[in-house]
Amino acid sequence: MAFSGTEVWMTPPQNERNNRRESNEWFMFRNHINVADTFNGILNIAADSKYWLFINGQVVVREGGLKRGPVPTGSYYDEVDVSDFIHEGENTIAVLLWYFGKQSFSHHDSGIPGILVDAVEIEFGKWKVKKHPAFFDAGYIQESYRLSENSVGFDGRFDVPEWINEEFDDSDWLDAVAAGKPGDAPWGTLEKREFKQWFWSDLKEFAAVEELPSIGDSYTIYRCKLPYNMHFVPAIEVEKNCQAGARIEISVGHKTNCLSPVFITANGARLYESIGWMNGEDVLFKVSGIGGKVKKFYYRETGFPANFSGYFSCNLPLLNKLWIKARRTLVVNMRDTFMDCPCRERAQWPGDLVVELGQIPYCLEREADLLVKKGIREILRWQREDGVIYGPVPAGNWHAELPAQMLSIISPYGIWTYYMNTADKETLEELYPFAKRYFDIWDFQKNGLIKYRPKVKGEEAKMCDGNVIGTWDWIDWGKRIDSEPALNAWFVLAAEGIRLMAVELGYHKDAREAKLKGEQVREAFQKYYWSDTRNGFVSENFGFDPDDRVQALAILCGAAMTDQYPQLKKIFETVEQACPYMEKYVIDSLFKMGETELALSRMGNRYRSMVENDNTTLWELWPEVTEQCGTINHAWSGGPLTLLSEKVAGLKPLAPGWTLFSVCPQPGKLKQFEASLLSQHGLIAVDAHKTGLEWVVEVTVPEGAVAVIDFSGLGSSRTPFELASGKQKLVVKMN
């Protein structure tokens, strides 16, 4: 929904910004409004970059706004219900504005700090503004051009704590400058935020605080343990004999963290709460020159507003813990956008998004679908004039295409999976033309295979004037990647995604063309990449064992023949080149081959060290590599969650919105499993246990849905059948 208000954007005058552009700026805005009893209680607020809203001295919104932008020239706005905070007559509105002031992999900077507040039936007077004197830029622990957020410093000696209150005198503040109507540059068209504001807990004390051995007398470090990896803001309370000018630096205990908020104390007792979110499991408070004791350490948890919903468990504890860690990894990588990691870059890489969106229906409330919708709409609608889609977006300093990841978005794993989970046909119709246009830019060689993108094999994205540009030849992290067949297989999958969307939307000519292109490449793939001497799919000059990633994609796209499966199985038993990103597709292909035992064995072996360590999230890379250079909370590693719920428990939509779904379990040698999810129609669940030569299976089907039951994976020869709504217990005899 586009914004249609009448108020204008307000920005600080240049002399309030010291007549220069800076990053990490903080401004206080104030206004007084008269409210009639007919006011509907809704404020529409847009900001570059984030805002905190106070009404009559009370906190209404913490960290409002979304990073720019829905499209390259647009911004988001919030619809905020203030009915519980506002009263008839005069009210005081105060807004704290955080202006990032820099481009990043997750935010497109407009170049001007701005705030827009609008409401029906309210006339706003003049906005007053002042730069907040206590906030300062605390930089980074390690430089990161990927992040829009800098570390936030706060000097308590210059605080203005009363500025949000009604009686505060702002007469010496400057008038804010009117800077344009809604829709005007540089903020552009405003689109409504569709999901709720972030979840925020009350302040909580750390359960465990450890004073680390001192190194000299200059500072003390306290290590505080969080219950799990989360988004949080840290806080510290100092006693009354605290001296002014003491410095408190805060960081977290993993090396890929870039942010470290800083407090400078004022005299006396005070609670200092940071304002920019971090993530981690161990929080380090480095305290120097305090002149008194720290009273308490706190944190306030925050996150995307969707609770856990759905579960998976079986008789193998390792798999249960893997599912739970994958769920925690997912939620830590959700906020303004889906992220690859919440520490190093906070970027919405398309490949990570595809892995994440597959997990959503199995473990979160349906509010999370709105973040998927936002993500795929951003990636498709940031399409360049030449038809290329790229990522991560939204971004201000990234313009490079990653062809394999872009193809994954338009494959059945991307937009189509979102549609099957939500039945959101309006979004499917909106995004199809962008997807089709990107699909059509791909050309073919005379042999039927695609012309490789980029033209130069092994090409990396380039930096130019602070922007990342070009086409990046990225298939997966790691070495021994056979890129040509991998990209061709991704094209075949993309062709199937286009075909499915075209059929659903009635574009039958498009569907036929996509089918023919997919078949052409699939046939050429089999002809030119299969090697009888190496018993796998390899490109001509690939000098290593056949790439497990390529074999997996060949199976998933249908290029591999079923009589080739035994040879491919041998490759999967010995070759482990895939990183956690592509390992999801490797294991998926094993389920498609019917090799459930190998799928679960490989899953357990590859993820075991991640599961058994003390972290509550999954790592970016396999542990021996992560210890050198990777994050401990990476989105692309969560694929097993989808596979356990979808393949082992067998729950998968067969019609949009889960109106028709399968219960087709593949448990292998497991003796018990259960899973559930919350669909639009209600609870879907399966609970099964094996006794002797029988399985006892209880299936829950919600009103408005039908289940297709296929127990062939349990050893039954019974023909698949349908179940209507209700809870039914079935006894399955094994052959």
pLDDT in tens, 171-189: 999 999 999 999 999 999 9
> Mind listing the pLDDT tens digit for each residue in 27-38?
999 999 999 988
Give the model's confidence band at 123: pLDDT under 50 very low, under 70 low, under 90 confident, else very high: confident
Predicted confidence at residue 626, as pLDDT, reads: 59
Domains of the chain, start order: 10-133+156-194 (2.60.120.260), 204-303 (2.60.120.260), 319-454+469-530+546-648 (1.50.10.10), 656-733 (2.60.420.10)
Q: Can you tell me the mean pLDDT for 272-289? A: 94
Which residues, 6 or more positions from 224, have their beta carbon under 8 angstroms from its beta carbon? 206, 208, 209, 210, 282, 283, 284, 285, 297, 299
State both tokens at 581: 């990103």
In the three-class reduction of DSSP (H, G, I as helix; E, B as strand; rest coil), residue 151 is classed as: strand
> What is the DSSP code (8-state) at residue 346?
-
**Cβ atoms of residues 605 and 635 within 8 Å:** no
In the three-class reduction of DSSP (H, G, I as helix; E, B as strand; rest coil), residue 675 is classed as: strand
How many helices (H) and strands (E) in the chain?
Answer: 14, 36
Nearest-angstrom CA–CA distance, 218 and 239: 19
Higher pLDDT among residues 629 and 213, named by residue: 213
Nearest-angstrom CA–CA distance, 67 and 105: 11
State both tokens at 727: 């809870």
Instruction: For residue 523, count CB atoms less than 10 angstroms from its CB and return exposed for 0-12, middle for 13-18, buried for 19 or more.
Output: middle
State both tokens at 469: 């540009």
Q: How far is CA 196 from the centre of its chain?
A: 16
Predicted confidence at residue 352, as pLDDT, reads: 98
Tell whether the model's pLDDT for residue 346 goes beyond 70.
yes
- Cis upstream peptide for 361 (omega within 30°): no
Scan for tokens 């609870």, then name that residue.
Answer: 683
Which residues, 6 or more positions from 683, have their beta carbon under 8 angstroms from its beta carbon? 676, 677, 700, 702
Q: Can you tell me the mean pLDDT for 458-478? A: 88
Tell whether the model's pLDDT for residue 19 goes beyond 60.
no
Of the candidates 590, 567, 694, which has an alpha carbon nearest to the alpha carbon of residue 648? 590
Q: How far is CA 694 from the centre of its chain?
A: 41
Average pLDDT, the chain: 95
State both tokens at 532: 């009888």
Lowest mean pLDDT among 17-26, 351-360, 522-531, 567-576: 17-26
In the three-class reduction of DSSP (H, G, I as helix; E, B as strand; rest coil), residue 726 is classed as: strand
Predicted confidence at residue 140, as pLDDT, reads: 81
> Mind listing the pLDDT tens digit for each residue in 289-338?
776 678 899 999 999 999 999 999 999 999 999 999 999 999 999 999 99
Nearest-angstrom CA–CA distance, 735 and 717: 7
Tell whether the model's pLDDT for residue 612 goes beyond 90.
yes
Lowest mean pLDDT among 237-241, 327-331, 393-397, 696-700: 237-241
Predicted confidence at residue 20, as pLDDT, reads: 58
DSSP 521-576: HHHHHHHHHEETTTTEE--TT--SSPPHHHHHHHHHTT-S-GGGHHHHHHHHHH--
Q: Of the ranges 219-223, 244-248, 566-570, which is most confident?
A: 566-570
**Angle, vertex CA 148, rays to CA 145 and CA 154, nearest 5:** 110
Tell whether the model's pLDDT for residue 149 goes beyond 90.
yes
